[in-house]
Structure 1
Amino acid sequence: MDGNGLSAGVASRPVKGHEAATLQADDEFIVGEGAASIPRAIAVGCYATNLDYKGEKISEEKLGDVTSFSSVGPFLNAKYPKPAVLAPGSLINSAQNKLAQGFDPNDEDLLLTTSVGRGKDKSWYGLMEGTSQASPFMAGTIALWLQAYPYLTYEQVIEILQKTSRKHAKMDGKTWDARYGYGLVDAYEGLKEALRIGKVDGLTRPSAALEPVSIARTPESWRVLFNNPEREATLTVFSLDGRPVMQRRLSGVQQAHEEVIDLGGLQSGAYVLSIVTPGTRLARRLIVTH
């Protein structure tokens, strides 16, 4: 209570000879609306990864930061972290419903980008934003983790998010934040953690559930993550004329083992990355630019 007998956070003002008190509003606890209020549901906030449409900036959000329309926690039951994580949801290229009432491909407000098909079969993609874009991004990410380890529990997914999400500078070193959750989702690092949990639990995963490797690409390197234990594996980088320019022969490869291919030693150009295991052979195009 303050000196006027009013609680902190309450503002007072005279109204025709009377003193009226009004609450000073905040945006806390609004994450609990709708489906996010289900205790063991993963509540997903949104951060901005795109601000442009056809080369022109059309959004006032801040790139790489939580968006203004992302609801803020905490949840009334502190046992459940809400939001749990932030995922991309600002101006995402998304499928459009051409059967929706009033849909007009000439409507510039729809922010259409590309079309597929012809004539009556033509369908459209366009930019959309909201946590309704961030949530399916996160659903697909967790589906990938479940491919790696189908026995993941809610608690283990939360553990993965806590360990692998990228912390935003505005979290000030906190593990969890009412606006940022555990941070910005990192699908690849989460996949590595899901594979590690499966290995520790010792439960058998269907061997055909995944390709032998998952690949994360950056301008500096390619990171090759083994989804299964392999007796042996050979990684070879070929030039387009068929010459091997880099090769690694591995034996006794453990599940979740990672090989990092540094692109710094390769000249700019196109290459082919070949990965051969006893049961699979695959190739991926590799572009190097310096």
Structure 2
Amino acid sequence: MKIKRIDSEKNLPTFRASDELKSQKQTPQPDNQRITAYQKQNKIQQQLEDKVKKSVATELFDVIVHLNCDVQKDLKRLDKILGNSFKPKKVFKYINAFLAELTPAQIRKLNTQQDVKFIEENIEIHINLDTANKWFSTERAREDFQLSGRGITIAIVDTGVDNEHMDLSGNKVVGWSDFVNGVESPYDDQGHGTHVASIAAGTGDGNYRYHGVAPEASIVGVKVLDRTGSGSMSQIIEGIEWLIDNKDTYNIHIANLSLGSVGSSDGLDALSQVCNVAVDHGIIVVVSAGNSGPNRYTIGTPAAAEKAITVGSMADVGERGFFLNLYSSRGPTADERIKPDIIAPGHRITAARANSRSDYITFSGTSMASPYVAGTVALMLEADRELTNNQIKGILFESSQDWGGPDKDIDYGYGRLQGYQAVMTAADVRGDIPETPTHISQNGSLQNRSQDIWQYAVNNLSYPVSITMIQENERIDFDLYIYDSNGNIIGYSNSTDRQETVSFVPRRTGNYFIEVYSFHGSGHYFLDVSGG
């Protein structure tokens, strides 16, 4: 597959039908395109401060108060900060913070304390909702290098784990803790955690087509979300603190968190911070990026955690080609760091269905992409137990296929996960790298109501063609039109979103044409084409 920009209209076919599509589209309202990063103005988190301003004096707020002092080492200092006005509901063990229920007056008083770093709301956290193993090449890695995740334990911090499902039964679940209902035996009353666990480490006993990435890895279930898929930030922090305390007991190597908040985080929130602490204690933390894309500044907590591996979602060749899912959250973080870190398969992933014994169900979301990376990390650690968190990251990122802008960018991170190359590097061996569709990246810029025409030649009909165009910001509106060699339109995407994607199955080799059209505004764009 080859691609080139057409700088002259000479010898081009007449493009049909797109003029009518362009004329039917409505110009978006500028206010709907405006995205701004969250900025702190004082010690009270902006979202909390807005609520406090509108509250009555007797209203109570569940908050997490971060301190500049070491709470565990200086309890007298904590008593001085609190005074006699209230008592904390919980003092966290691994971060200098406590949980409390406070009135607006108490929050404002704490805001004046020198030892108080900042105050945030104890927000609700929610879940981020067969061919992927082949096209992201972990299946071949298992076969070629004789790896399965044996001896590696993955903690699933989620809605629970159904260890009665054939793919997760027997001795698969080696540890369990329930921070929602206090039940002593593993269960999943929502289903999300079971699906996630199955993607990372399901045995495929119910159907071999749907085995997990590391089918012999062990699972520790940590239930922090309820039957609706929700849980408080403090509840999840307690779950991660339990992981840290029990790391050696259950031989925990990896923690997967397919959950998150909406909005933009700077990574200073309590949940992001405790994820960083878990990494410092030797646990590789893998987190889903969230499903709030394609706009910028949609990385919430804990996806904004600096030391976590933050994973966005992409489709695979079995689902009409490699393309970035529109919903996958984008960076930068509120403090302008680049997230996500990497992109993995999360579109229409089939895995174990909770409370069914042997059935399967298909879901899409960054929730599905994150455990795919967690399973890949398990294979890497089985190949070399001495790999550190930073070494794992280095191998994953350096072996990925670059998409979008050069190097790391706010949409794809370092690029598309290449499981085979990552495991091969970790094992320090050579292998026959699986064939995948050709990928080409281009970029351009447009003035208002102008267009770029790209000609690309398809010479292999084995793969679908997927074209993803991402514009630099939300204040402009570019569209995507695809034509065959005769100028007939065969696909288009002309939403008002920051991303446009078209996938199709080519019926003949030869030249096709891509039009990137500026419906509104001037700016830069990135174009990624995957096909034969």
TM-score by length of 1: 0.45
TM-score scaled to structure 2, two decimals?
Answer: 0.26
